[in-house]
Structure 1
Amino acid sequence: MTYSHPLIAGVDEAGRGPLAGPVVCAAVILPEGFSAFDQLDNSKKLSEKRRTALAAIIRAEARVGVGIAEPVEIDRLNVLHATMAAMVRAVDSLGVRPDEILIDGNRVPDGLKSSARAIVGGDGLEACIGAASIIAKTLRDQILIESENRFPGFGLAGHKGYPSPSHKAALENLGPAPIHRLSYAPVQSARQARGVWRST
């Protein structure tokens, strides 16, 4: 694939709100002639089936980098700072230095080696950010689905770690597992009430 110059990388994250699992950030540089430009959008506006199909196309045709902040880092730094660190990792893992970085949101992380700007609602405005949102969302969902067997009883494959009523009820019954973010209030409450999760 041929890449235009300057190289523009889009960056987005998935998973700041959940009680469990990592924050996943993705950086994507789309090539000239990318076959699905007109299908890209904010990942939340796409069906799971469509996201999965587009993620495969993006990975096949574009340059993709990923950065992850695990729950222990989120608890240590707070979710904002952990997300910023994961964004830098995603850009660094691209394998090339972008000429410009476009970031969804209102904040540019420290530590980037290229010119960068934040765009509120950028995942619906810039194709490269939309592509990054799709990669971040699909990868994070896959991580939570694969965690279902390691931490049974929480329904992680269904709610993906978000604070659904069923997830909160499982936390109250089982106590938090290592995949949970201990600094989040519902998890703290469950830990105080039940202690830590025990595999059954």
Structure 2
Amino acid sequence: MSCGVDEAGRGPVIGPLVVAGVCGEESKIASLRVKDSKKLSPKRRERLAEEIKKVASKIVVIKIEPEEIDALREKMTLNEIEVELFARVISQLNGDKVYVDAADVNEDRFAEEIKKKLGKDVEIISEHKADSKYPMVSAASIIAKVERDRIINELKKELGEFGSGYPADERTKRFLEKYVKEHNELPPHTRHSWKSAKRAMKKKEQKKLGDF
């Protein structure tokens, strides 16, 4: 049985990191004409996610919250965290062949590190842009993105509009700075270990010093 694994939310300063795995018949998944989730509209992703759920033999979704990401970042790189999460998903999938979207610049090393964590022999095809090449990874990418989008929409009901949550997004930058200015702390669901979060706090401290 073939499987695909991918993530959503590696880079954002707000919200969880979601990793999804999808197993099933490649021909059935391919017939849905799935492709990289980033190239699809939110509505199209949601429709495809429902279709994937109908034909997939197994789907596993794991998410880790910003607090856990921050704790792990004290002792691990982001790539090492992804290796851990991918291995966790794969161990629950029980597939013979698993396609993964490589997070490491070295595709083979990413596969080998996952195998070490698994402790069992599984064929892992690790490639960059695997979500554009292999339908199983495209399907996993869609499932992960739809789940993360759902969570982000819930967070916006709680926190208000904060843009995409990515560090380069001006709306996200403004949101963080405004929140810190008003509350003297970072908003909930923020990754404190991200540079953009640290910058927002530093800016507040500098303004405080400037008051004297």
CA distance in 1, matches of 2:159, 2:86: 27
Instruction: Give the CA deviation at 1:57.
Output: 0.7
TM-score by length of 2: 0.78
Give a deviation string over 1:41-67, Cα, whole Å, max 9, x none: 111111111111100111122021112
Query: Matched residue of 2:157: which SS?
Result: coil
1:24-35 alignment runs, 5 A limit: 24-31=18-25, 34=28
2:100 aligns with one of 99, 103, 125: 103
- Percent of residue pairs identical: 35
CA distance in 1, matches of 2:159, 2:55: 35
Give a deviation string over 1:55-80, Cα, whole Å, max 9, x none: 01111220211121221222122332
Which one has the largest radius of gyration? 2
CA distance in 2, matches of 1:124, 1:115: 20
How many residues are paired up?
183
Q: State the AA in 2 paired with 1:103.
A: V
1:168 aligns with one of 161, 173, 183: 173
Instruction: Give the CA deviation at 1:193.
Output: 3.7
2:188 aligns with one of 178, 182, 197: 178
Query: Matched residue of 1:138: which SS?
Result: helix
Contact 1:69/1:83 (8 A) holds in 2:
no
1:118-197 alignment runs, 5 A limit: 118-152=126-160, 155-156=161-162, 158-159=163-164, 161-163=165-167, 164-175=169-180, 176-194=186-204
CA distance in 2, matches of 1:50, 1:60: 16
TM-score by length of 1: 0.83
Q: Paired residue for 2:33?
A: 39
Query: Matched residue of 1:28: which SS?
Result: strand
CA distance in 1, matches of 2:100, 2:68: 21
Query: Matched residue of 2:153: which SS?
Result: helix
Contact 2:46/2:146 (8 A) holds in 1:
yes
Structure 1 unmatched runs, 5+: 1-6, 196-200
Q: Which has the higher contact order (CA 8 A, sep 6+)?
A: 2
Structure 2 unmatched runs, 5+: 181-185, 206-212
Instruction: Give the CA deviation at 1:185.
Output: 0.7
Q: Paired residue for 1:198?
A: none
Instruction: Give the CA deviation at 1:23.
Output: 0.9
